[in-house]
Amino acid sequence: MTNTINEKLSAIQIGLKVKKSSFNAFGKYYFRNAESILEALKPLLKTQNCTVTLNEELILSDPPILSSTATISDGVKEISAVAIVGVDMMQKGMQVPQKFGSASSYGKKYALGNLFLIDDTADADASNTHGKSAQLQPQAQPAAAKVSIKQGDEAFNKAKDYIKAGGSIEAIKTKYVMTAAVEKALKDA
């Protein structure tokens, strides 16, 4: 008896386990990416005699939007899932290709996650606030207990590198107190 595409997809969804093997040094958390999802997925696809394709479409708007589609096929039928991601053209410290590449990677990860029911609610990369499960997330410190960041110190240099890699000033503010001048210097980095 031949399984339907729905049965094959269900078997893959049940069997797929993807570790969070990438580490964000600034935020001090592990996360999964599209590459690790695809690596874990390939043996299951072979077992079910299916293939997966990833396609992207640029939607011209302000800001530009990438629509990423993950499709599973058994050669007869297919099922797709979509993720929509905006490209932050105002992001400091990144060249235009990096901005699109970052959005592309993010979109692929979430299209695959949507298709294969990968629950990222406890994943630190799942929200802009980098929220984690209660036992993993250090609680935001009250402003009085936060460390001050000063231009040129080690924390400032780490924050600058974090922003250049695509991090947000808001995430930095959860750990550090800074003057308007320091914030401006970080945003201009």
pLDDT tens column, 29-46: 888 888 999 999 999 999
The secondary structure of residue 75, as a DSSP letter, is S
Residue 46, CA atoms < 13 Å, CB-side half-sphere? 5
Domain boundaries, the chain: 5-138, 140-189
Question: Is the pLDDT at 134 greater than 70, yes or no?
Answer: no
Contact 79, 115 (CB under 8 A): yes
Quick one: average pLDDT of 35-64? Answer: 94
More confident residue, 58 or 22: 58
Predicted TM-score (pTM) of this structure: 0.61
pLDDT value at residue 116: 95
Q: Say whether pLDDT at 16 is over 90.
A: yes
Q: Which residues touch 33 (CB under 8 Å, ≥6 apart)?
A: 22, 105, 109
Helices (H), 16-153: 34-48, 96-116
Average pLDDT on 161-175 reads 75
DSSP string, 116-154: HT---TT-GGGSTT----TTTSPPPPPGGGSEE--TTSH
Q: Give the chain's end-to-end CA distance (angstroms, integer).
A: 61
